[in-house]
Amino acid sequence: MKNYTHINDIDNINSWIEEAKALKKNPLQDIELGKNKTLALLFFNASLRTRLSTQKAALNLGMDTIVMNVSGDAWGIEFEDGTVMNGTTAEHVKEAAAVVSQYCDVIAIRAFPTLTDKERDKNEVVLNSFIKYASVPIVNMESATSHPLQGFTDAISISENKTKKKPKVVLSWAPHIKALPHAVGNSFVQAMQKMDVEFVIANPEGYNLDPKITKETPIYHNQEEALKDADFVYAKNWSSYDEYGKVLKTDLDWMITNKKIGDAKFMHCLPVRRNVVVADEVLDGENSLVIEQSNNRTFAAQLVLKKILENL
Ligand SMILES: NCCC[C@H](NC(=O)CCC(=O)O)C(=O)O
Ligand SMILES: NC(=O)OP(=O)(O)O
Per residue in 120-154, pLDDT (tens digit) is: 999 999 999 999 999 999 999 999 999 999 999 99
Q: Is residue 206 part of a domain?
A: yes
- 2 domain-assigned: no
In a domain? residue 1: no
Diameter of the chain measured on Cα atoms: 60
- Looking at residue 251, what is its pLDDT? 74
Nearest ligand to the CA atom of 300: 2
Predicted pLDDT of residue 24: 98
Ligand 2 contacts CB of residue 50 (under 6 A): yes
Minimum-distance ligand to the CA of 183?
1
Answer yes or no: is the C-beta of 47 below 6 A from any ligand 2 atom: yes
Total number of domains constituting the chain: 2
pLDDT recorded at residue 250: 74
Q: Which residues of the chain have pLDDT under 50?
A: none
CA 237 to ligand 1 center in whole angstroms: 9
The pLDDT score that the predictor gives to residue 249 is 79
The whole-model pTM stands at 0.98
DSSP 72-120: HHSPPEE-STT----SS--EEHHHHHHHHHTT-SEEEEE----SS-HHH
Give the pLDDT of residue 140: 99
Q: Which atom of ligand 2 is nearest to the CA of 48?
A: 7
Whether 142 and 263 share a structural domain = no
pLDDT value, residue 176 = 96
Structural domain of 118: 7-146+294-310
Q: Which ligand is nearest to the CA of 181?
A: 1
Cβ < 6 Å from ligand 1: which residues?
A: 142, 178, 180-181, 183-184, 269, 271, 273
Both 95 and 57 in one domain: the answer is yes
CA of 267 to the centre of ligand 1 (A): 15
pLDDT at residue number 252 = 82
Q: Using one digit for the tens of pLDDT, what is the confidence trace for 260-297?
A: 999 999 999 999 999 999 999 999 999 999 999 999 99
Q: Detail the residues annotated as belonging to a binding site.
A: 47-50, 75, 110, 142, 147-150, 176, 236, 269-270, 273, 297
Q: What's the distance, CA 306 to chain centroid?
A: 18
Euclidean distance between CA atoms 238 and 244, whole angstroms: 11
From the number of C-beta atoms within 10 Å of its C-beta (0-12, 13-18, 19+), residue 45 rates as middle
- Provide the CB-side half-sphere exposure for 208 (13 A, CA): 14
Clarify whether residues 31 and 116 are in a common domain: yes
